[in-house]
Amino acid sequence: MVYRFTVDSTMHTQMIDITDKVREIVSESGVLDGLCTIFIPHTTAAVTINENADPDVKTDFMKEINKIVPWEDNYRHFEGNSAAHLKASMMGFSETVIIENGRLLLGRWQDIYFLEYDGARTRTVIVKVSAC
Whichever domain contains 13, its CATH number is 2.60.120.460
| Strand stretches in the chain, DSSP E | 2-8, 14-17, 34-39, 45-51, 94-100, 103-104, 110-116, 122-131
Is the model's pTM score more than 0.85? yes
Q: In tens digits, what is the pLDDT along the chain, a chain of 132 residues?
A: 999 999 999 999 999 999 999 999 999 999 999 999 999 999 999 999 999 999 999 999 999 999 999 998 898 998 889 999 999 999 999 999 999 999 999 999 999 999 999 999 999 999 999 999
Q: How many CB atoms lie within 10 A of CB 70?
A: 9
For 6, which DSSP code?
E
Assign residue 10 a region (left: φ > 0; alpha: ψ between -120 and 50; beta: otherwise): alpha
Give bridge partners of residue 41 from the DSSP assignment: none
Q: How many domains does the chain have?
A: 1
Domain that holds residue 91: 2-131
Which of 98, 106, 95, 105 lies closest to 132, judged by CA?
98
